[in-house]
Amino acid sequence: MKIDEDSPQVRFPPPFVYAGMLLLGLGIGRLLGDPPIGLDIRVASIAGMILAIAGLGLIFAALLRFRRAGTNPEPWRQTTAFVASGVYRWTRNPMYLGMALIFAGLALIFDSLATLLLLPFVVILIDRQVIAREERYLETKFGDDYRAYTEKVRRWL
């Protein structure tokens, strides 16, 4: 992965963090005997599917906005446009929120409490190591427009 000089300088792909922690949670649960989440399996499966589909929808909508703006979604590449429309009117990070929803949905589908308990750690890691870098970069690159946007739109929800 080549990191552009003019970029947020994120050193790892965020989807890999979510996927790696998901696999870690499932593995820990399998090795140590994961206690169930405590929901009826049908309810958990349906809720999990709803969360995962909602997460995929958020990611798709965000990627579509980036494509229309002609900018890169990868946080190690240069940003050429400031996107504040579509799903970006409700959350500054729809892709990461979408990944968190997918993570939670899969934890429910697999009935893995260990996996679900890792979600706050994943969100904190993404927030501190990815989003913080992106926000510094975007503020430097887009100045007052980006600062005004951060005052109107929350980081997550």
* Angstrom distance (rounded) from CA 96 to CA 101: 9
Residue ranges of domains in the chain: 14-152
Give the alpha-carbon dihedral of 33, 34, 40, 46, to 10 degrees.
-130
pTM over 0.85: yes
When pLDDT is averaged across residues 77-104 and rounded to a whole number, the result is 98
pLDDT tens-place string over residues 104-148: 999 999 999 999 999 999 999 999 999 999 999 999 999 999 999
Q: How far apart are CA 135 and CA 33, in angstroms?
A: 40
Radius of gyration of the chain (CA): 17
pLDDT at 55 over 80: yes
Q: Kindly give the residue spans of alpha helices, DSSP state H, lying in the chain.
A: 14-32, 41-69, 94-109, 113-126, 132-152
Burial 37-53 (b: 16+ CB within 10 A, else e): beeeeeebbebbeebbe
CA 109/CA 132 separation, integer angstroms? 31
* Mean of pLDDT over the chain: 96
